[in-house]
Amino acid sequence: MGVPQVRRLAVVSLHTSPLAQPGTGDAGGMNVYVAQTARRLAQRGIEVEIFTRATSSGQLPVEPAWPGVTVRHVIAGPFEGLDKEDLPGQLCSFTAGALRAEARQEPGFYDLVHSHYWLSGQVGYLLRDRWGVPLVHSAHTLAKVKNIALAAGDAPEPKGRLIGEEQVVVEADRLIANTDVEATQLMELYGAAPEKVDVVAPGVDTDVFSPGDRLAARAELGIGADELVLAFAGRIQPLKAPDVLVRAAAVLAHRHPDRRWRVVIVGGVSGTGRQAPHGLSELAADLGITGLMDLRAPAAPERLAQVFRAADVVAVPSYNESFGLVALEAQACGAPVVAAAVGGLPVAVRDRMTGLLVRGHDIDDWADALESVALDPVLRERLSAAAPAHAARFSWEVTVDGLLESYRSALAGTPAVVGR
């Protein structure tokens, strides 16, 4: 009897679509992950259907996304105006929509379900039971980990999510962790069985994120050749801590008033937009550095790569990151990264080899780290030279290899290997 194979895969990404622009709303690294892996799985001969919640009446119910990849927009609740916190109330409706889609097909249409984030996992294990196929689950973020290291002003994750994640950990046939650290968190904080946790690191698209002409990138972006550029990319939310960069930049501007500093922040407000504005402009005004701020809307990957090429340093000051794709993408472009030593960032960034890791979020510590890279051309060039080769170790093809191995194990019912 041959090794079991996945022919047709159902991917559940309930709260955010892989077609959405990363860096705004609820779209971020998970969107990139789902899109990149789906495309490459399809290139390996697997038909991929992605179930996501419809957020506009203008969306097609079934939309071809890439060759071999279809996105199904499932109506569950109103199209607009629902925050992520409101979505648990729509799980039943979403599940019904997914079941109806499958009911139109021949029995055994899907071979496996891969759910992303806990809301999708809640749907995923119901689909698993109904369709009689394995469930593989990727958490992407974990509520208990987030609550351990909350940013100032951030609300703790609710009890309902904690319970929901615990349920998914029990129900899933396989759990995908981005790093050994996340695998340990799943086991120690959620009681995950070690034999069903697979470690599969995310990747980076080096066709888009690659070294390029720094001065040309600056000219395209309207940045002066002599400016010291500190960059940030991501959703504007307390968890991502862009305020830490702004406050550290104010310290540097005070220390070195003779230098031309620029803080480039690429991203949008997290959530549906009904929350209060991010307040970074007001913070900069209070700190007296309004003239240094360069706030930009979320950008397409090609444009974001130019921001990274133009930067002297890319800051990733998050309070928690399961991996940190922005750090990897920046390094692939040859940008040194200064990142918080949390979650998967110590894996994504090689401390003092491709960037610097900062323990904690003390503003003076962050100013010191940013200063040491931005004002030391020898260190900056050394980090920059090593960064692309490090990032290239994390390819999406290797990620898909790991996912396929996990899928085969799920189909065969064999135990996982943690930390391979």
Residue 22, annotated as binding a ligand = yes
Residue 271, annotated as binding a ligand = no
- Give me the domains of the chain, ranges plus CATH numbers: 8-203+396-413 (3.40.50.2000), 214-392 (3.40.50.2000)
Q: What is the pTM of this model?
A: 0.91
Residue 29, annotated as binding a ligand = yes
Q: pLDDT value at position 414?
A: 56
Residue 302, annotated as binding a ligand = no
Residue 178, annotated as binding a ligand = no
Residue 397, annotated as binding a ligand = no
Residue 31, annotated as binding a ligand = yes
Residue 84, annotated as binding a ligand = yes
Residue 279, annotated as binding a ligand = no
Residue 15, annotated as binding a ligand = yes
β-strand pairing of 293-296 with 313-316: unpaired
Residue 220, annotated as binding a ligand = no
CB–CB of 383/351 below 8 Å? no
From first to last of its 420 residues, the chain has per-residue pLDDT tens of 566 789 999 999 999 899 887 665 666 789 999 999 999 999 999 999 999 999 888 899 999 999 999 999 999 999 877 888 889 999 999 999 999 999 899 889 999 999 999 999 999 999 999 999 999 999 999 999 999 988 877 889 999 999 999 999 999 999 999 999 999 999 999 999 999 999 999 999 999 999 999 999 999 999 999 999 999 999 898 989 999 999 999 999 999 999 999 999 999 876 544 344 568 999 999 999 999 999 999 999 999 999 999 999 999 999 999 899 999 999 999 999 999 999 999 999 999 999 999 999 999 999 999 999 999 999 999 999 999 999 999 999 999 999 999 999 999 985 544 433
Residue 26, annotated as binding a ligand = yes
Residue 321, annotated as binding a ligand = yes
Q: pLDDT value at position 2?
A: 63
Residue 146, annotated as binding a ligand = no
Residue 274, annotated as binding a ligand = no
Q: Mapped to the 3 state alphabet, what secondary structure does 287-334 carry?
A: HCCHHHEEEECCCCHHHHHHHHHHCCEEEECCCCCCCCHHHHHHHHCC
Residue 294, annotated as binding a ligand = no
Q: pLDDT value at position 83?
A: 81
Residue 262, annotated as binding a ligand = no
Residue 317, annotated as binding a ligand = no
Rounded to whole angstroms, what are the CA distances from 350 to 30, 31, 232, 366? 22, 25, 19, 17
